[in-house]
């Protein structure tokens, strides 16, 4: 049953169909359940449809509760060597995802006991269900890593902003307090300062004296400058982290491609930084004869069918294709279709030439294959007799 459960709730990169359906049902339940909890706070929102909504809410809660139990069982079936099933379940229950899953079903447990959860609690737990979606979005985890990594410059930027906010509010307090009740105290002025520095500008608190407006203009322009610091720190950290994650995952995939085995570690590291990972589903057309070719492909897993003038043949993991258009700068000479689910590594035209310029061994292998294929297709031009 562990395997069946793993197929259902496990995090395999190629989930079986039942897991895909299960995920879809779960996501729909979570989204609708959260939506009900949110709309529930609107007075008279459900007039006339109270019953179906309550029924739907109960159903969603039941599904989420069942999911929690399944995941507990799954955790037990995945227990490590020498670990008791209870310990494994506790480990899941205390992990962030386990806690999110639990929070989502609290109303079920408490409600069952004696319907003693006040309405507010229901609202909160209903909305917290949204967190269950985090499981399917690695972005939050990435953001967490970035925030931790860039904590010092981020705090520095926030400290600068805090000093600006305190200074601006003190100045405006003295400039406006006599005539403007909105600046009657420094904390009141600070609300204005933060809203202005963040360039939100509600307009509920606005300086009215000429001096206040002059100072306010300076603060608005400063806000515009300060803006850049946390935003750009986070933005560059985020893109840096995504590149790093991509490098590491590609790096480990490269070793699965026999073709790269002949490369030295440092060359693999270089090419791993250039390759991009892509997936293709069965039947997907990867390139079409006559198109402009802008990249070549390496197959990590799966099979593709190549249909060109030289006939039709099958390529499988370790093979590459699409190199002729890069070397010859001609349109694609064949149409390539995935005949099973494929993992592919893509090498851009620019990166291809950047890499082969320094690595003649690799180029020659690609060249030999390309020439053999072109000869087969009766397509050898004069130029490729003198390889680069």
The residues in 306-335 that bind a second copy, with binding defined as CB under 8 A, are 327, 329
Among 71, 352, 370, 373, binds a second copy (CB under 8 A): 352
**Which residues, including other chains, have CB under 8 Å from residue 327's CB and lie 6 or more apart?**
366, 367, 370, 384
Angle at 278 between CA 255 and CA 384, to 5 degrees: 75
Give, as ranges, the residues between 357 and 386 that touch a second copy (CB under 8 A). 357, 363
Question: Residue 344 pairs with which residues in a beta bridge?
Answer: 278, 299
The footprint of a second copy on residues 52-91 (CB under 8 A) is none
Position among 3, 13, 48, 187 found at the interface with a second copy (CB under 8 A)? 187
Q: Are 288 and 243 in contact (CB under 8 A)?
A: no
Does 217 bind a second copy (CB under 8 A)? Our answer is: yes
Closest CA to 108 of 49, 66, 73: 66
Map the footprint of a second copy across residues 108-127, applying CB under 8 A.
Answer: 120, 123-124, 127
Per-residue b/e over 217-239, b at no fewer than 16 CB within 10 Å? eebeebbeebeebbeebbeebbe
For a second copy, the closer of residues 18 and 368 by Cβ is 368
Is 234 a binding residue for a second copy by CB under 8 A? The answer is yes
Q: How far is CA 296 from CA 103, 138, 243, 260, 286, in A?
A: 47, 28, 20, 14, 10
Interface pick for a second copy out of 231, 277, 361, 375 (rule CB under 8 A): 231
Binding a second copy by CB under 8 A: which of 103, 117, 156, 380?
A: 156
| Residue appearing with tokens 């979005």 | 137
User: For residue 46, with 0-12 CB atoms within 10 Å meaning exposed, 13-18 middle and 19 or more buried, which class applies?
Assistant: middle
Q: How many residues bind a second copy (CB under 8 A)?
A: 103
Q: Does 229 bind a second copy (CB under 8 A)?
A: yes
Buried-state track 6-18, b at ≥16 Cβ within 10 A, e below 16: bebbbeeeebeee
Q: Are 207 and 175 in contact (CB under 8 A)?
A: yes
Pick 99 or 124: Cβ nearer a second copy: 124
Q: Using the rule CB under 8 A, give the single segment among 13-21, 66-74, 238-246, 335-343 that binds a second copy.
A: 238-246
- CA separation for the pair 328, 352 (Å, rounded): 13
Instruction: Tell me whether residue 76 or residue 129 sits nearer to a second copy (CB atom).
Output: 129
- Near a second copy by CB under 8 A, which window of 11-19, 47-55, 70-78, 186-194? 186-194
Q: Does 244 bind a second copy (CB under 8 A)?
A: yes
> For residues 248-277, which are near a second copy according to CB under 8 A?
248, 251-252, 255, 264-270, 273
Least distance to a second copy from the beta carbon of 144, Å? 10
Looking at 79, 353, 371, 379, which residue binds a second copy (CB under 8 A)?
Answer: 353
Sites for a second copy among residues 18-47 (CB under 8 A): 34, 37-39, 41-43, 45
Which CB atom, from 8 or from 193, has the smaller least distance to a second copy?
A: 193
Q: Does 97 bind a second copy (CB under 8 A)?
A: no
Structure tokens at 32: 């609708």
Which of 6, 22, 130, 259 lies at the binding interface for a second copy (CB under 8 A)?
130
Determine the Cα–Cα distance for residues 197 and 224; give it in Å rounded to an integer. 7
When binding is defined by CB under 8 A, the residue of 95, 179, 185, 312 that contacts a second copy is: 185
């Amino acid at each position: 049953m562990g395997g069946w459960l793993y197929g259902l709730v496990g995090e395999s990169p190629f989930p079986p169909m039942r897991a895909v359906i299960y995920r879809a049902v779960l996501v729909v339940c979570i989204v609708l359940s959260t939506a009900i909890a949110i709309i529930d706070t609107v007075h008279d929102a459900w007039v006339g449809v109270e019953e179906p909504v309550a029924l739907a809410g109960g159903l969603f809660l039941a599904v989420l509760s069942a999911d929690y139990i399944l995941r507990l069982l799954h955790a037990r079936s995945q227990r490590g060597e020498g670990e008791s099933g209870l310990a494994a379940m506790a480990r899941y229950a205390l992990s962030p995802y386990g806690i999110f899953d639990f929070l989502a079903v609290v109303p079920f447990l408490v409600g069952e006991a004696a319907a003693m959860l006040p309405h507010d609690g229901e609202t909160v737990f209903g909305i917290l269900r949204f967190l269950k979606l985090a499981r399917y979005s690695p972005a939050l985890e990435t953001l967490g890593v970035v925030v931790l990594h860039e904590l010092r410059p981020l705090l520095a930027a926030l400290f600068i902003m805090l000093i600006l906010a305190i200074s601006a509010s003190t100045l405006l307090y003295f400039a406006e307090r006599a005539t403007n009740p909105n600046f009657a105290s420094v904390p009141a002025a600070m609300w204005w300062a933060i809203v202005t520095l963040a360039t939100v500008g509600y307009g509920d608190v606005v300086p009215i004296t000429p001096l206040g407006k002059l100072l306010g203009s300076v603060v608005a322009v400063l806000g515009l400058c300060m803006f850049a610091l946390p935003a750009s720190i986070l933005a560059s950290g985020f893109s840096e982290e995504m590149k790093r994650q991509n490098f590491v995952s590609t790096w480990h995939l490269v070793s699965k491609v026999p073709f790269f085995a002949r490369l030295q570690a440092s060359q693999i590291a270089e090419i791993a930084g250039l390759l991009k990972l892509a997936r293709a589903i069965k039947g997907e057309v990867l390139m079409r004869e006559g198109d402009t070719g802008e990249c070549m492909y390496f197959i990590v897993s799966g099979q593709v069918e190549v249909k060109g003038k030289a006939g039709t043949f099958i390529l499988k993991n370790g093979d590459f294709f699409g190199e002729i258009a890069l070397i010859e700068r001609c349109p694609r000479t064949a149409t390539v279709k995935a005949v099973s689910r494929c993992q592919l590594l893509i090498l851009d035209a620019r990166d291809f030439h950047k890499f082969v310029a320094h690595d003649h061994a690799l180029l020659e292998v690609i060249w030999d294959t390309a020439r053999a294929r072109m000869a087969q297709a009766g397509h050898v031009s004069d130029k490729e007799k003198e390889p680069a």
